[in-house]
């Protein structure tokens, strides 16, 4: 599932490609993906792109917004004026654009297009009033996130807030980090990497970490998310950015997916994989003690 760095990478490109474009037509091939009225978005233009944890809001000139949750395999692909020499599409864009997995096409001015592709069809697009985006079901329930705002939503996860969330919890730390209602944006890849970087076992009880461990973990989360954003995200499953390219974080993970490989910190133990709450969990038994 795409996490904060992946969706941030999409956001950065959409800002570059979409702002100023006008929507001239809307083609819906799969009605279940799109909730909203055609007349609410045709003849409007894109004025801003925002991200709330893993959700995108494409804000339009008529105070409506297109809220997009790509879930597991959704893809937003742009082709047009603001990408003059488009790179060839990743093979992860199954069927191409438009293709058999293209469910919605936003026809833009100047012969440009924004395609929504989705193989598994868990993702969705909804038209809502811009001022209501922060409060719609899923977005309204998001916890503060590491790159949030000092004022407004998503709220900024400061160290003090992080400490407070952990102190109150009896849950194991890895599961808590991935709970979007407590902390927005962290999924399995970055939770694994942050815990290894901080030298903390995923099953430690959140409320029992020392102040020093909490600070180390907070810094580790910021560091791995920044590294993810710099790499353009991790391309597992179907993740691509709107230019149709893959990110590269999957080639630079610290612990995630590294089972059988030697731990670069202690250089003694190999990473082991097991399942915690149904999710692949990777640890070095020497660096991450219970
Ligand atoms: Zn180690």
Distance 284 CA to ligand 1 centre (A): 5
144 among known catalytic residues: no
Distance 282 CA to ligand 1 centre (A): 11
221-274 pLDDT, tens digit each: 999 999 999 999 998 889 999 999 999 999 999 999 999 999 999 999 999 999
> Do 33 and 76 meet the contact criterion of CB atoms below 8 Å apart?
no
pLDDT of residue 6: 94
pLDDT of residue 242: 97
Distance 205 CA to ligand 1 centre (A): 21
Tell me if the pTM is above 0.75: yes
289 among known catalytic residues: no
User: Could you say which DSSP state residue 141 is in?
Assistant: T
Report DSSP letters for 217-239, one per residue: HHHHHHHHHHHHHHTT---STT-
Paired with 129 in beta bridges are 64
Q: Who contacts 54 (Cβ-Cβ below 8 Å, separation ≥6)?
A: 1, 2, 3, 4, 6, 7, 69, 70, 180, 184, 185, 187
| 95-128 per-residue burial string, b: 16 or more CB within 10 A, e: under 16 | eebbeebbbbbbbbeeebbbbbbbbeeebbbbbb
Of 3, 6, 145, 236, which is the active-site residue?
3
In the predicted model, residues of the chain with pLDDT beneath 50 are: none
CA gap 90, 68 in Å, rounded: 21
208-223 pLDDT, tens digit each: 999 999 999 999 999 9
| Alpha helices for the chain (secondary structure H) | 4-18, 137-140, 159-167, 173-177, 188-198, 211-230
Distance 150 CA to ligand 1 centre (A): 36
141: left (phi over 0), alpha (psi -120 to 50) or beta: alpha
Domains (range + CATH), the chain: 4-140 (3.20.190.10), 159-283 (1.10.8.50)
pLDDT of residue 149: 87
User: Could you say which DSSP state residue 266 is in?
Assistant: T
Of 163, 171, 227, 279, which is the active-site residue?
279
279 among known catalytic residues: yes
Of 50, 54, 64, 92, which is the active-site residue?
54
Of 2, 154, 202, 242, which is the active-site residue?
2
Q: Who contacts 87 (Cβ-Cβ below 8 Å, separation ≥6)?
A: 243, 244, 245
3 among known catalytic residues: yes
Distance 196 CA to ligand 1 centre (A): 8
Distance 204 CA to ligand 1 centre (A): 17
Distance 1 CA to ligand 1 centre (A): 27
CA gap 36, 196 in Å, rounded: 43
């Amino acid at each position: 599932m795409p996490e904060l760095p992946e969706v941030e990478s999409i956001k950065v490109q959409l800002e570059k490609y979409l702002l100023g474009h006008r929507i001239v037509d809307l083609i819906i091939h799969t009605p279940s993906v799109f909730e909203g009225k055609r007349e609410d978005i045709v003849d409007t233009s894109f004025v801003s792109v925002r991200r709330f944890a893993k959700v995108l809001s494409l804000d339009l000139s008529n105070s409506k917004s297109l809220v997009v949750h790509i879930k597991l395999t959704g893809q937003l692909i742009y082709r047009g004026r603001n990408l003059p020499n488009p790179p060839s599409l990743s093979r992860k864009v199954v069927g191409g654009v438009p293709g058999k997995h293209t469910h919605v096409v936003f026809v833009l001015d100047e012969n440009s297009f924004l395609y929504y592709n989705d193989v598994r069809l868990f993702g969705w697009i909804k038209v809502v009033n811009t001022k209501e985006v922060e409060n719609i079901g899923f977005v309204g329930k998001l916890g503060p996130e590491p790159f949030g705002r000092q004022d407004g939503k998503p709220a900024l996860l400061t160290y003090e807030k992080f400490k407070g969330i952990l102190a109150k919890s009896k849950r194991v730390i890895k599961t808590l980090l991935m709970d979007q209602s407590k902390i927005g944006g962290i999924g399995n890849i970055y939770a694994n990497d942050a815990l290894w970087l901080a030298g903390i076992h995923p099953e430690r009880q959140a409320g029992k970490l020392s102040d020093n461990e909490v600070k180390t973990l907070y810094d580790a989360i910021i560091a791995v998310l920044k590294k993810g954003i710099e790499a353009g995200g991790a391309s597992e499953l179907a993740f691509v950015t709107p230019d149709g390219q893959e990110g590269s974080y999957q080639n630079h993970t610290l612990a995630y997916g590294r089972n059988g490989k030697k731990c670069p910190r202690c250089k003694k133990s190999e990473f082991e994989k097991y399942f915690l709450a149904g999710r692949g969990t990777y640890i070095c038994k020497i660096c991450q003690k219970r």
